[in-house]
Amino acid sequence: MQEIVLVLSLAAIAAVAVAFLAVLRRLEPAAGGGGPTGSVDALRGRILWGAVIAGAAIAVATLLPWPHAVPAGPGVVPVHVRASMWAWELDRVELPIGVPVVFHATSTDVNHGFGVFDPGGRLLFQTQAMPGWVNKVAWTFTEPGRYRVLCLEYCGLAHHGMMAEFEVRGTS
Amino acid sequence: MASTTMADRTVAGFEPARLALVLGGLVFLVMMLLGLLMKASQADLLPLDPRLFYEIMTAHGIGMVGTAGLTGIGILWHFLGRHVTLDERAFWAFLGLFLSGVVLILGAIFLGGSAAAWTFLYPLPAVSGGVWSPNVAVLYLAGLALVGVGFLLVHLECARALRAAWGGLGRALAWPLLFRGRQDPVPPPTVVAAAAVTIFDLLGLVFGAAVILISILEILLAGVGLDPLVAKNMIYFFGHVFINATIYMAVIAVYEIVPDYTGRRWKTSRVFAGAWSVVLLFVMAVYPHHLLQDTVMPAWALVAGQVLSYGSAVPLVAVTTLGLLSYLYRSGARLDLSASLLVLGVAGWTAGVMPAWIDGIVAVNKVMHNTLWVPGHFHMYLILGQVAMVWGTLSWLAHGRNVAGLSGGDRLLLGSYVVGGAGLTLGFLVAGAASVPRRWAVHEPSWIVHDLPAVFFAILVLVGAAGFFLRALPGLLTAAGATREAG
Provide the pLDDT confidence category of residue B262 given band limits of 50, 70 and 90: very high
Q: Which residues pair with B65 in a beta bridge?
A: none
| A65 DSSP assignment | S
pLDDT at site A32? 61
pLDDT tens-digit profile of B320-336?
999 999 999 999 999 99
- What phi-psi label fits residue A145: left (phi over 0), alpha (psi between -120 and 50 degrees) or beta? left
Give B60's Cβ-side CA count (13 Å radius): 18
- Classify domain B6-484 at the CATH class level: mainly alpha
Answer with the residue of higher pLDDT: A36 or B355. Answer: B355
Provide the pLDDT confidence category of residue B487 given band limits of 50, 70 and 90: very low
Q: What is the mean pLDDT of residues B16-38?
A: 96
Q: If you measure CA to CA, which chain A residue comes closest to B363? A: A67
Provide the pLDDT confidence category of residue B4 given band limits of 50, 70 and 90: very low
Per-domain boundaries in chain B: 6-484
pLDDT tens-digit profile of B148-170?
999 999 999 999 999 999 999 99
Calculate Rg over the CA atoms of chain A: 24
Q: What is the mean pLDDT of residues A114-119?
A: 98
Contact B354 A5 (CB under 8 A): no
pLDDT tens-digit profile of A42-68?
888 888 889 889 999 999 999 999 999
b/e map B250-279, b = 16+ CB within 10 Å: bbbbbbbbbbebbebebebbbbbbbbbbbb
pLDDT at A24 over 90: yes
pLDDT, mean over chain B:
93
The distance of A58 to chain B (nearest Cα, Å) reads 9
Measured between CB atoms, which of A9, A135, A157 is closest to B51? Answer: A157
Contact B354 A35 (CB under 8 A): no
Per-domain boundaries in chain A: 2-63, 77-169
Q: If you measure CA to CA, which chain B residue comes closest to A53? A: B311
The distance of A24 to chain B (nearest Cα, Å) reads 7
Q: If you measure CA to CA, which chain B residue comes closest to A39? A: B326
Q: What is the mean pLDDT of residues B386-413?
A: 95
Provide the pLDDT confidence category of residue B317 given band limits of 50, 70 and 90: confident
Task: Fill in the amino acid letter for B43.
Answer: A
pLDDT tens-digit profile of B431-475?
999 999 999 999 999 999 999 999 999 999 999 999 999 999 999
pLDDT at A38 over 70: no
Q: If you measure CA to CA, which chain B residue comes closest to A138? A: B295
Q: Which residues pair with A79 in a beta bridge?
A: A103
- Sequence-distant (6+) residues with CB within 8 A of B271 are A44, B318, B319
Of A107-111, B2-6, B17-21, B410-414, the range with the lowest mean pLDDT is: B2-6
Q: If you measure CA to CA, which chain A residue comes closest to B333? A: A27
The distance of A132 to chain B (nearest Cα, Å) reads 7
Q: What is the mean pLDDT of residues B306-320?
A: 87
pLDDT tens-digit profile of B336-387?
999 999 999 999 999 999 999 999 999 999 999 999 999 999 999 999 999 9
Which of B301, B278, B277, B282 shows the shortest CA–CA distance to B290? Answer: B301
Question: Beta strand A112-117 with A145-151: parallel, antiparallel or unpaired?
Answer: antiparallel
Return the percentage of chain B with pLDDT > 90, whole number.
Answer: 88
Question: Beta strand A94-96 with A87-90: parallel, antiparallel or unpaired?
Answer: unpaired
pLDDT tens-digit profile of B95-138?
999 999 999 999 999 999 999 999 889 998 889 999 999 999 99
SS3 B83: coil
The distance of B226 to chain A (nearest Cα, Å) reads 11
pLDDT at site B321? 93
> How far is A23 from B414, CA to CA, in rounded Å?
18
pLDDT at B2 over 70: no
SS3 B99: helix
> How far is B200 from B237, CA to CA, in rounded Å?
10
Q: Which of the residues A102, A124, A160 would you substitute to probe the B interface, choosing the one with the greatest number of B C-beta atoms within 10 Å?
A: A160
Measured between CB atoms, which of B115, B370, B442 is closest to A153? Answer: B370
The answer to whether the predicted template modeling score (pTM) of the entire model surpasses 0.90 is yes
Q: If you measure CA to CA, which chain A residue comes closest to B373? A: A6
ipTM for the predicted complex: 0.95
Interface contacts (A, B; CB < 8 Å): 223
Contact B295 A109 (CB under 8 A): no
Q: Which of the residues A10, A18, A21, A27 would you substitute to probe the B interface, choosing the one with the greatest number of B C-beta atoms within 10 Å?
A: A27
Q: In A, which residues are within 8 Å of B322 by CB distance?
A: 40, 43-44, 47
> How far is B138 from B219, CA to CA, in rounded Å?
7
Q: Domain A77-169, what architecture?
A: Sandwich (2.60)
- What phi-psi label fits residue B263: left (phi over 0), alpha (psi between -120 and 50 degrees) or beta? left
Provide the pLDDT confidence category of residue A36 given band limits of 50, 70 and 90: low
pLDDT tens-digit profile of B211-251?
999 999 988 987 777 899 999 999 999 999 999 999 999 99
b/e map B367-403, b = 16+ CB within 10 Å: bbbbbbbbbbbbbbbbbbbbbbbbbbbbbbbbbbebe
Q: In B, which residues are within 8 Å of A153 by CB distance?
A: 121, 370
